[in-house]
Amino acid sequence: MTNQQKITDSPIDFAEKIINDVKNSKEDGVLKCVQCGMCTSTCPAARHSDYNPREIIERVLEGDISIIEDDNIWNCFYCYTCHSVCPVGNSVCEVNQILKQIAIENNVGYDKLYEYLGFADSYFTAAIGAIPERFFQDIDRDVPGWWEFRQNLEEIRKELDLNPPLMPSEEVIDEVSKILTITGFKQKIEKIRATEEAVK
């Protein structure tokens, strides 16, 4: 089987690919799913949307490749609750990570990634993930005073007699940037960004 699953590939290959993916730490957990629904009853995303983790596993086992085009898979935010409560040791969380990866490989779901491009950029500028600027307003709305706190963080640390935060050196930032470029991450981000520009 190739690394890139095509939407037109065999349904059996599709389920097999998910089960054997390196991101799936639960080995045969998908095959052991008894459709009990524990994952769905504890999933925060299921509580607030039409997303249903039990159904995700059902569709994977049926080889329903159309699932990668289902907007609902993007509602999972990897809290790992399902991973910890599944009675047979399955992880819908990891299965979702694989499904989204397959979606991206098939140029599906790019619009779900636009808001996170700033996060990817920060690896090139700081060698660590940072909150994208486009989230600042929302965070300040949900956590009143957050923006003022962020603006004054340096002063607050000084008042508390705390050292400045440890940040990666220029040398480290350069190394991380090179790794991300050589491994194709940069190219992938540029491709996604180009589609965002095209729809503006």
Binding site for ligand SF4 (CB under 6 A): 33-39, 43-45, 53-54, 57, 76-82, 86-88, 90, 92-93, 96
In angstroms, give the least distance from the CB of 123 to ligand SF4: 23
Q: Which is nearer to ligand SF4, 48 or 200 (CB)?
A: 48
Which residue has tokens 């600042």? Answer: 136
Q: Which is nearer to ligand SF4, 17 or 54 (CB)?
A: 54
Q: Which is nearer to ligand SF4, 47 or 178 (CB)?
A: 47
In angstroms, give the least distance from the CB of 38 to ligand SF4: 4
- φ, ψ dihedrals at 171, nearest 5°: -65, -45
Distances (CA, A) of 42 to 24, 47, 178: 20, 8, 41
In angstroms, give the least distance from the CB of 79 to ligand SF4: 4
* Residues in contact with 43: Cβ distance below 8 Å, sequence separation at least 6, in sequence order: 51, 53, 76, 81, 82, 92
Q: How many CB atoms lie within 10 A of CB 193?
A: 16
Nearest Cα neighbor of 30 from 102, 78, 98, 77 is: 98
Quote the Cα angle for 51-53-58, to 5°. 115
In angstroms, give the least distance from the CB of 144 to ligand SF4: 26
Q: Which is nearer to ligand SF4, 39 or 120 (CB)?
A: 39
Q: Which is nearer to ligand SF4, 77 or 149 (CB)?
A: 77
Q: Are 90 and 106 in contact (CB under 8 A)?
A: no
In angstroms, give the least distance from the CB of 36 to ligand SF4: 4
